[in-house]
Structure 1
Amino acid sequence: MHRPAKFWPVVGFATLAGMRSMSAPAFLSHYLSRQPHAGLAGSRLRFMQKPATATVLKVLAAGELVADKLPTTPDRTAPPVLLGRLLSGALVGAVWYRARHGSALSGGVLGGLTAIAATFVSYALRTGISEESGVPVALVGVGEDALVMAGGAALLSGQRPAHGEWRPL
């Protein structure tokens, strides 16, 4: 029996959510809008397969890349911002697991916990690199943006539709 990969892609997407909360759902929705998965048919999570959802999430992700560099933007570890990253990770985890015929709850828990861990690790790395090198935090953030973009592209390029999934014509 073929078992589609669920765990590691969720860890990857949720890690992106911990770094840039809107990028992970934007990448996943972009992928799903081009490769619809039967596991989402009839699910409340099927909205992530809609091209309009992908477009809105991409705009929000682009806005986040800009807002992240502003001096008035709170730290990613501030409770409201941390909650957003938790929810983003939970969303991508739930959607990916459900798309691959798994438990949305299991995927959501894995995604949320991974996003929280990635938030603190990426924050420590960003501030540590800035302090040690003397490079402004915002400039280190540009490098982090590049890592998120490359990571998201790599995640998408490595995915294959699960056995029996339908594809757009």
Structure 2
Amino acid sequence: MKTETSPKYRPAKFWPALGFATLAGMRSMSAPALLTHHLSNKPSWFLLNSPLQVLQKPWVATGLKLVAAGEMVADKMPGMPDRTAPPVLLGRLLSGALVGAAWYKSRAGSALAGGLVGGLGAVAATFLSLALRKEISAQSGADMAAVGVGEDAVVLGGGAALLKAVG
């Protein structure tokens, strides 16, 4: 039996980090909001004495949830820049890097490796989700904002499933 003290114990790092990164690519603030929700309810000893330990604070989780909700509303507003515009893409990359680094570190892994997985995953998900959103809009004739509401549902449902999976 593998336990946390067993030398063979290796908590899941890659796939959950990639899951959080995918969410960051779709909605940049949803991934940190979901991760801080998890970490504030199930803090990790591995984040203590790390700058990332702030992500375990309930007030941070609450604040990020509010910002994530605001982002979902703002996404549908006319005149919002494309998610692949350099400053917006950088924000998604940084969001993915943050959640990847925090997840890896919380699971006794390398924050650097997690940051790379998260950042690269978020950039890939940004382009893929935009292409999918445009294609769904073109094929269905639905307005991009309406398709964005569906994307919000995917982010929320996917985030809930991810949180359930990581326990």
Q: What TM-score do the two structures reach when normalised by structure 1?
A: 0.94
Within-5 A mapping of 1:66-145: 66-145=73-152
Which residue number corresponds to residue 5 of structure 2? none
Which residue number corresponds to residue 150 of structure 1? 157
**Count of residue pairs the alignment pairs up:** 160
SS at match of 1:76: coil
From 4, 13, 28, the equivalent of 1:6 is 13
- Determine the C-alpha separation between the residues in 1 that align with 2:136 and 2:127: 14
- Determine the C-alpha separation between the residues in 2 that align with 1:76 and 1:13: 17
Which residue number corresponds to residue 4 of structure 2? none
For residues 38-86 of structure 1, give each alpha carbon's deviation from its aligned partner in whole angstroms, at most 9, with x where no partner exists.
Answer: 1101111000000011011001000000000001111101101000000
**1:132: Cα distance to partner?**
1.5
Gaps of 5+ in 1: 161-169
How well do the aligned residues superpose, as a CA RMSD in angstroms?
0.5
Gaps of 5+ in 2: 1-7
SS at match of 2:43: coil
For residues 125-164 of structure 1, give each alpha carbon's deviation from its aligned partner in whole angstroms, at most 9, with x where no partner exists.
Answer: 001110111100000000000000000000001113xxxx
From 7, 15, 26, the equivalent of 1:19 is 26
**1:96: Cα distance to partner?**
0.2
SS at match of 2:166: coil
From 57, 60, 75, the equivalent of 1:53 is 60
Bigger relative contact order, structure 1 or 2, given CA contacts below 8 A and separation 6+?
A: 1
